[in-house]
Amino acid sequence: LGDCTHSQSQMAIAVASLPEQPRFQEKLFPLRKEHYFGSHTRRAVLYAPPAHHETELCQRILTKHGYTVTVLENRRLVEDLRHEGPFQSKNHWSYFSFYLQVNLLPEIQHFLCRKEGLCQIIKAFSGNLIYLNLNMNHVSTISDKDILKAQDLSVIIKAYVLVTSLTPLRAFIHSTATVWHPPKKKHFTLKLQRFFEIFFRNSSPQQAFNNMKEAINKLLLITEVFSKSSKLIPFILYFRCSQCFQMLTFDIGFGMSIHPIVLKVHENFDFQIENESAIQDQISKELLFEDTFKFLLSDEFSTSSFIEALQKIYGSSVNKDRTYNREDEQCFSLEEMNSMIAFIKELKSLGQFELLFPSSTPKIQMLLRDLYRTVDPMRRLSSVLTLHWLLSNVLQQFQLMNKEKLVSNYNEVIAADKDTLSHIRQIFTSPQLDLNPQFNPRIREYYAEVPFDMVTVKIGAEPSNCQCHVHLDDKKGPSIANYPLGLGLNKVIIVLTDDSQPSPEVVSSYKVTIYREDRPSLPLFDDYMMCGFVQDCGSKIRPEESCGLQPLSHEYLSAISQTVLKTCEAGDTKGQWIVPCLSCSDNRTCDWREITWQPHGCRYSVLAKPELQRCVEGRRILFIGDSTNRGMMYYLIERVNKTLQEWQKTHDVKCYHNINEGKTFISYSYYPQFWMTANQRPTFEKALEQLLQRSRPLENTDQTVLIVGGVQWLNSNHLQIIQKVLNRENLSNILVIVKSIGMGFHLPVDGIHSLSQAEVQNLWNENLIILDTAKNLGYEVVDTFVITMGRYKEFLRGKCGCHFHEVVKSNPSEERPHITMTLSRHYTLGKYFGNQSKPSQLQDYATNSQSPYHVRGPINQVYSEILLSRLCASKRQFVST
């Protein structure tokens, strides 16, 4: 929106709500009415450059208001109206203009929004402005080079002003502004009232606010007067519509005093956006446009209020100093009636806007009279002053009738509305989510679905009441945040608190459930090829190596399709993910349900339940690590017991005695306890000692197993500590299995530390150091990094983006997946795997409808099965130190 006369980069809009009578429309538009407005009575035409930022936003808002929207690219509104408009003469235009709303007030754009125009104003009024006590340094900085230096200013704000009429002037200012401290480019959005309370808290906040509004009013009034006294370009004289408007942005600076300096006037709503994807900027922009359209397109009108005000105004035909005379018998003109009707509609639809002019301030009223007296000593423009007088009276009568200050700050009005206390005004998301149902402040729960490739979403909300604040997840959470979207269901809670109380109280909450789809999978038949990958091209961990799906050679496929393939001897055997596809160049043609991890030259044995139960019988298995380590523990419990009877997000020490019919003991200690301060957080050595103590009695054999690991906290120093503690506790011969680091913290998520791409790439080297150190100490390893890095988008719920498992309540009707350590029979019977069949021992793990809980996650399943294979390997090496 904005400039439509000078700039090709802005967008213009023409809106019309036409009478429905066919004869009336035919009279108005005998030729080309359908060319612009078709048969619809509510139509909007957007004149926009290609790919303009606000086009989609304006389309969405106008459609919501019931308008049919047409977008014309590379067209200019002024040229169309001048040469191709749906009116053949001034008579047609005069009829049409009554129903047309266009963001175009040419006088403002010509005089106020151009440097040359401002210079004309200063030159014409400089002598009189001193007499009128109008210091031009406080109005414009065109002629003052020192003031133009941003570093001399303490703060600069962008104030958004909507002018709905220049003659007589009607102007409104939005309650929100963009604020930044020069010379820094960092900016933020703030309520104007709040800005002045903070910035001028040691002086006079209200006076500074009033000074800014006065400076804006002065410039607008001078523009009105100058446009009436100047020889305007012909089109400006021709183009006048009663409902046209102009969106303006005033760049206003404040130094050490409470007097503002108007630096520049933009002929549109100008946003200080360095990054178009910045969610706060997008929210501010959407709010501003929403408020503006709601204000402009409002049908709010009261005939009784208008008649009552009209009677009182008509009775007071002459003011005290007889400046505005009219005969008692004289009727109001159509222009006067239209101005008053439009003004009353605006006063009843202020919303987030505050009235700037008409103003009841004596200083501004005196300026108005003096300006017209200066340019019109013969009083040829008295009719304009009469219109001003009428609107001032409308304002006065309207205030009296409503018994409240409709021109006061929006915050005061909305605070009085208790019904809004528990409501939010809008939910904002980036990218835009299609909420179901459509947002309504009274509806508390919403649902949205997003595609697989959308891994994060920014969510924010705006409270309806100024004394309330929005928080995400809990009452101390942020008002806006970037959320990771795990596969499946994700829940975001929007909490609304009343901050007017000494201790903020939660007054309501909203829930947004976002379902992220699985990777699109295409079921295949006989015509397929096998593809492999280690890393995804969206996050290249090893830039020097290939990424994405690669065709597998016939020799490789023949090697891994042997009926007897040796068992892998270590948990870090190099391998890759393989998946059947129609084409390796298009991952949308793959059957991702059949993806499997394939080590090079060997396979990991998948133990049947009886064999696994014998393996762990009499053993005491100790886990220490974070939630990813805990997920492997619960997987082990469910595999051994074929059921998971209890589950909790344990963050301390937990012991389980009911494993394998009481024949196996499992304990778990959460580490590190990141929520505690560094000086209170137990050291790894202390946590390990405590776990050993709680798990006794322990044998110094492989009947005692210590499984340690997590996402990214583990390093080689922890392995040295393990060796020291085990030696000290006479447990040097127990089996130690080290789970290496995993993919995670790779997304830009609020509230946690996120890794840069360089830091993610460095995880490869850190992982190698951990694996080498562990093996040198005689420990078994499970390399989870190489398994997770290529499937980094397939994380499940959790802020870290590192969880590849989740414990869910069992659904008896849900089919439990098989363990996919080899390709399924459908593909193994294809052209490459003629004789290989799926291991029969996996069939009994398909489902257990009696289990209250189930550990879900195919990636966690893969490395947990590798863990079980190392736990139950027949030969062990012991290193005595």
Burial class (CB in 10 A: 0-12, 13-18, 19+), 183: exposed
Q: Mean pLDDT throughout 728-732? A: 96
431 and 336: one domain?
Answer: no
Q: Mean pLDDT throughout 332-359? A: 85
With H, G, I as helix, E, B as strand and everything else as coil, classify residue 219.
helix
Distance CA 112, CA 116 (A): 9
Do the beta carbons of residue 60 and residue 289 sit within 8 Å? no
- Kindly report, residue by residue over 308-330, the tens digit of the pLDDT: 667 666 655 544 444 444 544 46
Counting every residue written for the chain, the total comes to 881
Distance CA 863, CA 790 (A): 14
Do the beta carbons of residue 789 and residue 535 sit within 8 Å? yes
- Owner of token pair 């053949």: 88
Distance CA 96, CA 105 (A): 16
Angle between helices 205-229 and 362-375 (to 10 degrees): 20
Number of domains forming the structure of the chain: 4
User: In the 8-state DSSP scheme, what is residue 655?
Assistant: E
pLDDT at 185: 65
Instruction: Give the end of a domain, one of 499, 516, 533.
Output: 516
434 and 361: one domain?
Answer: no
Q: Is residue 540 part of a domain?
A: no
735 and 624: one domain?
Answer: yes
806 and 680: one domain?
Answer: yes
665 and 744: one domain?
Answer: yes
CATH label of the domain that carries residue 447: 2.60.40
- Kindly report, residue by residue over 59-116, the tens digit of the pLDDT: 888 888 888 888 877 655 544 544 444 444 445 545 555 566 777 777 777 777 776 6
Distance CA 139, CA 819 (A): 74
Decide which of 880 and 535 is more confident.
535
617 and 712: one domain?
Answer: yes
Q: Is residue 529 part of a domain?
A: no
pLDDT at 703: 95
Distance CA 159, CA 214 (A): 13
pLDDT at 405: 44
pLDDT at 133: 33
* pLDDT of 277 above 60: no
393 and 455: one domain?
Answer: no
Q: What is the mean pLDDT of the chain?
A: 78
Annotate 448-514 with three-state secondary structure: EEECCCCCEEEEEEEECCCCEEEEECCCCCCCEEEEECCCEEEEEEEEEEECCCCCCEEEEEEEEEE
Do the beta carbons of residue 848 and residue 642 sit within 8 Å? yes
784 Cα distance to chain centroid: 32
Provide the percentage of residues in the chain whose pLDDT is more than 90.
34
* pLDDT of 179 above 70: yes
Q: Is residue 239 part of a domain?
A: no
Q: Is residue 354 part of a domain?
A: yes
* pLDDT of 863 above 80: yes
Distance CA 672, CA 253 (A): 50
Q: Is residue 212 part of a domain?
A: no
448 and 368: one domain?
Answer: no
659 and 740: one domain?
Answer: yes
**811 HSE (CA, 13 A, CB side):** 7
Distance CA 783, CA 149 (A): 59
Q: Is residue 850 part of a domain?
A: no
Instruction: Give the end of a domain, one of 492, 516, 540.
Output: 516
Q: Is residue 471 part of a domain?
A: yes
C-alpha dihedral sign at 496, 498, 499, 502: negative
Compute how many other C-beta atoms are within 10 angstroms of the C-beta atom of residue 242.
18
Q: Mean pLDDT throughout 239-254? A: 80
Helices of type H across 705-857: 716-728, 757-776, 785-788, 825-828
Do the beta carbons of residue 634 and residue 649 sit within 8 Å? no
* pLDDT of 367 above 50: yes
pLDDT at 813: 53
Instruction: Give the end of a domain, one of 516, 544, 564.
Output: 516
Domain that holds residue 455: 418-516
797 and 697: one domain?
Answer: yes
Q: Which two tokens stand for residue 104?
A: 């175009």
373 and 447: one domain?
Answer: no
Distances 518 to 114, 451, 588, 609, 720 between C-alpha atoms, Å: 54, 8, 12, 29, 41
Q: Mean pLDDT throughout 402-406? A: 48
The top-scoring range by mean pLDDT among 137-146, 165-174, 765-774, 800-809 is 765-774
Q: Mean pLDDT throughout 297-315? A: 67
**pTM of the entire structure?**
0.59
- Kindly report, residue by residue over 104-136, the tens digit of the pLDDT: 777 777 777 776 666 666 666 654 443 333 333
pLDDT at 831: 39
CATH label of the domain that carries residue 641: 3.40.50
* pLDDT bracket for residue 141 (50, 70, 90): very low
436 and 354: one domain?
Answer: no
Q: Mean pLDDT throughout 219-224? A: 87
Q: Is residue 85 part of a domain?
A: yes
